[in-house]
Amino acid sequence: MSGNGLYEKVLLSGLEAPRPAVRASGGVVLWRRSGNGDLEVYWVERSKKLAFMGGFHAFPGGGRSRKDLELTVVGEPSGLDGAPIEAAMPSDVIDGVELEPIGAPGILACVIRELFEETGILLADGASAIDPERLEATRRVSLERSTDFRQVWRDLRQAARASLELDASELVYAGRWLTPPLGRMRFDNRFFLLEWPSDRGPQPSVIPGELTSGEWIRPDEAYARWERGEVVTAPPILHILRVMAEEGPIDGLPRMREPFEMNLGSFREIEFRPGVLLFALPTPTLPPAAYTNTYVFGNREVVLVDPGSPYPETNECLLEALRQLESKRGRKISAIWLTHHHPDHVGGVEFLRRALGVPVAAHRETAARLAATGIEVTRELADGERVVLDGEPPFAVRVLHTPGHASGHLAFFDEAGGSLLGGDLTAGYGTIVIDPPDGDMDEYLASLERLLDLGAATLFPAHGPPTVAVRDKLDEYLEHRLWREERILDAWNDGVQELDVLLRVVYEDVPEKAHPLAARQLEAHLIRLERHGLIERGS
């Protein structure tokens, strides 16, 4: 492609970022029968401030720590028929990642600890002998992290009048899920069922902090709240809710343990909000990211957004997933839409265009830049255009021209559900590069400010996980850019005007290997400052 900026040349150079690490984790699905016989589960809302799944609804649980390895647990999880689940099952392989055994060391201690900290329920032989007030005070100490759980547990054992042992025998193994590669860490999460009747004490409760609330709810109502767009949750939570609603915890256990129905070829079905299906595909993108999010947008007639992987094997797998999506879910691709022209967003376009027999749509600036690469854009999308995709109900998408990162950059807004596909305006992790002349800092800041007025419920970036704290994320990006620009202006006014010196002064927090791209960011800021008459640069 002629006229590539440094940013595009870096992407085309085949950079490789390390694949995300995998951390073992576990969650507990508390369930009971209400007074009228209805099945209920207990779920919690995570604080929007959390980096992982902030603002999401989930079941109590979390990641294993090294300290969990030092805790002794008696008993082991079982099925509701009483058949034991092996505590040391053979390692599994998912997405090419070799995983630890389901009952890996420390997992059961992690699950029991997280359940206690997040709900106040302590699974321990002899726990009934502990004074409830003492137990709650101990829980608060553990949550505050002022004392780690090992010391908390030692204190409880010394205070108990009877023997006290962490006990996993009431847990029922209910499946395993590996989170998609949306950040530096993936979680290998085991789920366990735990029956907790209303007449058994104590009942679960939430101490505000990492969690904001918790409630008992019928699985069908929880699922309906997600379908109405009232909550955001992750695929394993949705699957467990659906199975519990349809078959209950006993008959539904095989489906929870082996969720094959959630597979689309070699991918798990990842739909955080209705009408937004996500495939995280490996791409040669800007580290620390190693994946670009490809989206399927809509609920019957759907569009494929940013198939960015250039790797033939990945695209073959994606194609098979899309075919299964049509046969199993009735969602048929009608077009490919592009947020912009950068290589990590268009690598699979030609293969999928031919395989699916669909048109490619993008902004006219993007179309012009892609023409030289052999990618033909057959339909132009314009700012403010409203596209209604067929479905029940129809899926209305507003097209937004959001230049700055690229002159032809588009975002796509689901008007009914509030889901915003933001492309490269923000990132779940890493940074957004503004590389002149195609990149423009004034336009980028204006695009961020425009999105503030949308009232979006969830922001789906091209790299990294979605966020429900949309205004906070946009404000964060605006404030960071303006903070950096203020530092540039201050240094300039202090006489630091030689570019390589200025770069070292105002980007001293950036690794030296990233300085070439930081220099392009610096240039974008200097252009903006000169445009507004705040500095004067020599010819």
One domain, residues 450 and 504? no
> Residue 161: what pLDDT?
60
Q: What pLDDT is recorded for position 84? A: 52
Residue 475 lies in a domain: no
- Check whether residue 315 and residue 388 sit in a common domain: yes
Residue-level pLDDT at 83: 52
What's the pTM? 0.92
Region 130-159: what's the mean pLDDT? 79
Buried b (16+ CB within 10 A) or exposed e, 399-426: bbbbbbbbbbbbbbbbeebbbbbbbbbb
Distance of alpha carbon 409 from alpha carbon 403, whole angstroms: 5
Question: 106-134: per-residue pLDDT in tens?
Answer: 999 999 999 999 999 999 887 777 878 88
| Alpha carbon separation from 69 to 88, 155, 166 (Å, rounded) | 15, 18, 13
pLDDT one-digit tens code per residue, 172-216: 999 999 999 998 889 999 999 999 999 887 899 999 999 999 999
Q: Which domain holds residue 419?
A: 265-468
Name residues whose C-beta falls within 8 Å of residue 82's C-beta, 6 or more positions apart in sequence. none
Q: What count of residues does the chain have?
A: 539
Of 319 and 150, the structure prediction assigns the larger pLDDT to 319
Does position 465 have pLDDT exceeding 60, yes or no? yes
Do 319 and 171 reside in the same domain of the chain? no
Give, as one character, the DSSP assignment of residue 467: B
Q: Which helix (H) or strand (E) holds 360?
A: strand 360-362
Confidence of residue 51 (pLDDT cuts 50, 70, 90): confident
Higher pLDDT, 13 or 436: 436
Is residue 362 located within the same domain as residue 419? yes
State how many domains the chain has. Answer: 3
Q: Based on the domain organization, do 238 and 301 belong to the same domain?
A: no
What span, in angstroms and rounded, lies between the C-alpha atoms of 180 and 183?
Answer: 8
Same domain, 254 and 308: no
Domain boundary among 240, 258, 276: 258
With a cut of 50, say whether residue 88 has pLDDT above it.
Answer: no
* 539 found inside a domain: no
Give me the pLDDT at residue 92, please.
58
Q: What average pLDDT does range 447-453 have in this prediction?
A: 95
Q: What is the CATH classification number for the domain harbouring 426?
A: 3.60.15.10
Q: What percent of the chain has pLDDT over 70?
A: 93
pLDDT of residue 320: 97
pLDDT of 417 above 60 = yes
- Indicate if the pLDDT at residue 476 is higher than 70: yes
Q: What is the DSSP string of 395-437?
A: EEEEEEE--SSSTT-EEEEETTT-EEEEETSS-SSS-----TT
The answer to whether residue 347 sits within a structural domain is yes
> For position 86, what pLDDT does the model report?
46
State the average pLDDT over residues 490-494.
95
**What's the pLDDT at 96?**
67
% residues pLDDT > 90 (the chain) = 73
- The pLDDT value recorded for residue 80 is 44
Residue 328 sits in the same domain as residue 227: no
Is the residue at 15 inside a domain? no
Place 362 in a pLDDT band, splitting at 50, 70 and 90.
Answer: very high
Q: Are residues 513 and 462 in the same domain?
A: no
Quote the distance between the C-alpha of residue 404 and its chain's center: 24
Rounded mean pLDDT of 294-316?
97
Among 161, 151, 154, 152, smallest CA distance to 126 is for 161
d(CA 455, CA 304): 24
Is 13 among the domain residues? no
What is the spatial distance between Cα 518 and Cα 524, in angstroms, rounded to a whole number? 10
Mean pLDDT of 138-166: 77
Q: Name the phi and psi angles at 465, rounded to 5.
A: -80, 160
pLDDT category of residue 3 using cuts at 50, 70 and 90: low
Residue 89 has pLDDT above 50, yes or no: no
Whether residue 286 is predicted with pLDDT greater than 70 in this model: the reply is yes
